[in-house]
Each structure stands twice: as C-alpha cells, then as structure tokens.
Amino acid sequence: DGLQDLHGLHVVVSAGPTREYLDPVRFISNPSSGKMGFAVAARARARGARVTLVSGPVNLEVPPGVQFVPVESALEMRDAMLAASESADMVVMTAAVADYRAARPAGEKQAKGSEALTVELTPNPDILAELGSNKGERVLVGFAMETHAGVERAAHKARRKNADFILLNYPTREGTGFGGDDNEVTLVRASGESEVWPRLRKTEVAERLLSEALTLHKYTRSV
C-alpha cells in the first residue's frame, strides 16, 4: 500500500516480554503485549522494508511478509538481535527485556516448602547498549518507561546506550503503554531535545517513529 519509502532497507524490531525461567515450569516476566513492536514491523513492511521481527511470547498474528524469530529469554533475544542486526539499517528495540534472570535455574520442577525461599538473580545483558557499542551506520531506536524525571532519564539512557532517540512513555496514563492500542510518547534525543507527541494509535506512533528514523538514516548516508 502507498508510499514505499523504506524500500531497500532492512528494519529489525524486537517486541514483547522475555521469560526468565527459575525452573522448567516457572518464570519471571512482565505484561508487555508486543503490540508496539508488531505495529512497527507491520508499518515498516507496508512501506517496503525487509523486516525481521524478534519477539518474546505474545498473542499476536505475525504481519504478512515479515520474517519472524520467536524467542523466550533475554539471552535468546540477544543472540537473535545481534545476528539479525548485522545487515540492518534500522533497529527498533520495543521489547520489555527482563533486567534479571536466575543465576542458577533448576533443572527440575522445584517442590514447595514451608520455609522462605531466596532466589539469586543475575543481571541480563543490555541488548540496546550492546547494539549501540557497535553501531556502524545503523539508526538505533529504544523505548523507555519511566515514572518520574522521564525526559532527563531517557536522554541519559540514549547517550549511555548510544541510541539515536528514545520514545518515552509512562506506565500510569490510562490506555497507553502496556497492553493498550494507544500510546502517548515523548521523543527524546541523546542531546536532551524532546518532542511531545499527542496520544495516538500504536500504528500511528510506528509511522512517525519510522519517518524520524528514515530522516536520520538519510542524514548519516549523505555526510
């Protein structure tokens, strides 16, 4: 349909939550629906890009024409994202990657006891930061959810992870963020410049995100 302005580009998108198993039947996760990432993948494909979508477990249909790579854990997502990103022109990390995983996941289902249970967690790798440390000419986009000092924290995050911009949202606004069909975001550049977008359908947020990434892509390619 319509404008094929992303033709010839490879867009890699991560979506959904990750699952960090404590034993074969229990895991730590979060309520990410995957809708934002699936919207980015669908719109990028519609605008002519080759699209790879790496996603944790979600209940969504894969958009037609999109190469789908299902994963569960952050470590699996990391491997898939690093592999797919080698040939990418744009990478969009919408996934809600779990910050920690079990240090020693049990091989068998753990039985219930009456004592308190302590589980040691170890930090997961930061996939966006890793992609940023080997950025090349790729445009790199992240998302961030903050409850306070959002713009400042997002700008700091963009700089630290070497992302071109971060779309900031707040978990507290009704109907936006996790699960909903709408999103209300602020675009935050590493420079600290920010731009408040109105409440939009996630599909429309995806369109604007891709247009912004394309502007940056043309700029890097022309200097």
User: Are 38 and 95 within 8 A, CB to CB?
Assistant: no
Is residue 187 near ligand C5P by the rule CB under 6 A? Answer: no
| CB of 211 vs ligand C5P, minimal distance in Å | 19
Enumerate residues 5-64 that contact ligand C5P by CB under 6 A.
none
Site string for ligand C5P, 153-172 (x = CB under 6 A): ----x---------------
Q: Is 143 in the site for ligand C5P (CB under 6 A)?
A: yes
Q: Return the axis-axis angle of helices 202-222 and 35-46, rounded to nearest 10°.
A: 60
Distance CA(110)–CA(124), nearest Å, equals: 23
CA 107/CA 22 separation, integer angstroms: 9
169 is catalytic: no
Q: What angle do CA 217, 7, 205 make, to 5 degrees?
A: 65
Question: Is the separation of the CB atoms in 160 and 129 below 8 Å?
Answer: yes
Residues 92-111 that bind ligand C5P (CB under 6 A): 93, 95, 97
CB of 128 to ligand C5P, least distance (A): 3
Catalytic residue numbers, as ranges: 30
Contacts with ligand C5P, residue ranges (CB under 6 A): 74, 93, 95, 97, 124, 126-128, 142-144, 157
